[in-house]
Structure 1
Amino acid sequence: MRKIAVISVLYIFAIVATGGCQKKKTVEPTPTPDPPVVQTGFAKGADVSWLTEMEAAGKKFYNAAGVETECIALMKSLGMNTIRLRVWVNPTQSWNNAADVVAKAVRAKNLGMRVMINFHYSDTWADPKNQTKPAAWNALNFTALKTALSAHTSDVLNQLKTAGVTTEWVQVGNETNDGMLWPDGAAKTNMSNYAQLVTAGYDAVKAVFPTAKVIVHISSGWDNGLFQFNIGGLINNGAKFDVIGMSVYPQFVVAGWAVANQQVLANMNDMVARYNKEVMVVEVGMPWDSAAECKLFLTDLIAKTKAVTGNKGLGVLYWEPQSYGNWKGYTKGAFDNTGKPTVAMDAFKN
């Protein structure tokens, strides 16, 4: 289902006239689109890239009172101001292709939300263990590969621009710990190639949205050695980018989330001091059934990000908080099994 239900004035009148009350069975109307404004300040948001696929599968979302509510409007009501969306090149199904991304981005824009676009430069998931070239790019030499990356970036961003969406941030790659588009752009074997790919993405972004900030995104935000290797290598090889993005999933830190957050803050401050870059936590997550603990984790991480030297901590975004009911086996959302937000989401209200 890609159409948002809109309750007409006549229908509301009929309900009132007959004394009917079916609030828990209706979808709250999407608010009138906010006028376009240039937004500043701390970004609090969510990656909701699964949204259209979840809607097509019949998933619905509810506020704390049990009233069915359009998902992005619900995120806004919970204190979020930013929506992040991933892009795949030629996915097997249509999810996360350019058209799907534009449709979701328009919905976010119409609600006055800020937009971040996340290019995976793959037909499927790109992450620390997978940086697979799109099938259509497999036979390209490196020069042609850079051209393809640039053309894809420009095409998607121009489609967004045509649809009236201005993107504030653009990721050139997702969790590129060891580079992207392997083997050509593997950082450990050819940092120069990796840097050139990042720069190709940067130039393409700036040609469409000159004021957008380009993000290089690395996982394990507490791992200073990884960041020095990757970000330092990019800078030493002349790569152009604006922001260092981090993933923070504290279950991978044996000492717990409090220690992880301290290490993340130390790493963020080091990145600012060492490379004079802004930093941003673009992905977080914790098991949905640890909601109270997750709220503590998020509240602390948001405070620490706001405390980064020189106000260079730009924001914190939750990864797919609306996923629920063991959606695709993912259990680190922030909604319960009835489709309602847990108390973890309260961390974004302040």
Structure 2
Amino acid sequence: MSFVSRRTLLAGAGGAALAAITPGAASAASATTRALSVRGADLSFLPQLEEAGVRYRDLAGRVRPAEQILAREGATHMRLRVWVDPPDGYSDKARALHLARRAKKAGLQIVLDPHYSDFWADPGKQPIPASWPKDLPGLVRKIRSYTRDLLRDFARQGTPIDILQVGNEITNGILWPVGQLYLPDGTQQWPAFTDLLKSAIIGAREAAGDRVRIMLHIDRGGKMGDTRWFFDNIETYGVPYDILGQSYYPMWHGSIADLEANLADSAARYAKPILLAEISYPWTMEDGDGRGNIVTDPSTLPDLAQFPATPEGQAAFYERIRQVLSAVPGSLGLGFLAWEPEWIPGVGWEPGAEAPNDNLTQFDFTGHALPSIRAYRHP
């Protein structure tokens, strides 16, 4: 996810609350829910937040590291963002390696999210790292060696990667303009884009063989037509992958019914496990740092009557996500990753900026866990 592109999208867009999810209700829900093998979160901002003085408390009020709180609730995976040469303190390789060691200590497997960029990459921007080549042959070589070396570095310290997503929300390509999928003049660069993907995947296989699962990740959770267009072309150009990854934010990607329809269609059409690689939902419409948030209008939530922007409504949303994934045909609903559920006020999206997602977290503004963390439980 990138809050910048989401803010742009919002600028251009012109019954009753469900009961709180109690331990008893969670047990009842689990009786009809197939076990999801991936239940986790992207916690890439966690070290910076701790350095800013943020502390986290579990549902009983005990202070613990955020990854341990989620693991104790049943989480299985931590997703880690990696930028090539970001601003000081942000998610570079060294920080990701350190956080991977913490993930292993907590019993979590790792989903690695290299953006192949110096900073935020998403459907609205995918800039080439400043130090990388600017031509297609050079980038094909570079993305292969970079991916290979990255995975080897994680393996060497005893934290091998379980799932590698090749780029972040690559709906419109990677490494622009060379691998930009849709150019301003309408040209579609599928051969260049898919050559880059294939080269990165070769690098991953050189480092980890078949032990690493390859995910291709787009941001079209409830949009069937867009999903078909992207993955039909991926199949046409012969890009090998193991997992179909989607971002699903209902304020931008449609209703739960839209999500259900798209996941069912993708399962039948591509026969691949499907991971909701990014999800989140507001627990309030208040602003924790008083500097502006992306999601401020409850009317943008298509299922607001079912899932109000309250702690209880957020918990009900995550329970519904579990049910949707459990019902994907062929048992192809792999699981979900909450996006930065720990990103409460304390660290900006860039140095000196605000935290624009602090009402989409699974901890309140003071670091106390919200009921939605029970969604990590097994089964």
- TM-score tier, shorter chain, comes to 0.7 to 0.9
Counterpart amino acid of 1:192? Answer: P
- SS of aligned partner of 1:52: helix
2:127 to 132, 141, 151: 132
C-alpha RMSD of the superposition = 1.6
CA offset digits 1:274-306 (Å, max 9, x no partner): 122221101101123222111111111111112
CA offset digits 1:208-258 (Å, max 9, x no partner): 2222111110113011111112111111112121111011111225xxxxx
Counterpart amino acid of 1:68? Answer: V
Q: Is the counterpart of residue 248 in structure 1 residue 248 in structure 2? A: yes
- SS of aligned partner of 1:68: coil
* Aligned counterpart, 1:200: 199
- SS of aligned partner of 2:206: helix
Identity %: 29
Note the residue ranges of structure 2 that are not aligned, 5 or more in a row: 1-34, 183-187, 285-309, 348-354
**Relative to structure 1, is the Cα distance of residues 297 and 326 closer, same or farther in structure 2, using a 3 angstrom cutoff?**
farther
**Relative to structure 1, is the Cα distance of residues 284 and 41 closer, same or farther in structure 2, using a 3 angstrom cutoff?**
closer
2:329 to 295, 305, 309: 309
Aligned ranges 1:17-36 → 2 under 5 Å: none
- SS of aligned partner of 1:144: helix
**Relative to structure 1, is the Cα distance of residues 41 and 337 closer, same or farther in structure 2, using a 3 angstrom cutoff?**
closer
* Aligned counterpart, 1:329: 356
* Aligned counterpart, 1:215: 215
Q: Shift in Å at residue 175 of structure 1?
A: 0.6
Q: Shift in Å at residue 145 of structure 1?
A: 0.3
Aligned residues: 305
Counterpart amino acid of 1:195? Answer: T
Counterpart amino acid of 1:187? Answer: L
Is the Cα contact below 8 Å between 2:80 and 2:111 reproduced in 1?
yes
Aligned mates of 1:230, 1:94 — CA distance in 2: 34
Comparing 263-272 and 78-87, the one that deviates more: 263-272
Aligned mates of 1:296, 1:187 — CA distance in 2: 37
Comparing 267-276 and 140-149, the one that deviates more: 267-276
Counterpart amino acid of 2:356? Answer: G
* Aligned counterpart, 1:341: 369
Runs of at least 4 residues off by over 6 Å: none
Note the residue ranges of structure 1 that are not aligned, 5 or more in a row: 1-39, 254-258
Instruction: Point out the structure with max Rg over C-alpha.
Output: 1
* Aligned counterpart, 1:52: 47
* Aligned counterpart, 2:24: none
- SS of aligned partner of 1:321: coil
* Aligned counterpart, 1:26: none
Q: Which has the higher contact order (CA 8 A, sep 6+)?
A: 2
**Relative to structure 1, is the Cα distance of residues 344 and 97 closer, same or farther in structure 2, using a 3 angstrom cutoff?**
same
* Aligned counterpart, 1:7: none
Aligned mates of 1:205, 1:106 — CA distance in 2: 20
- SS of aligned partner of 1:86: strand
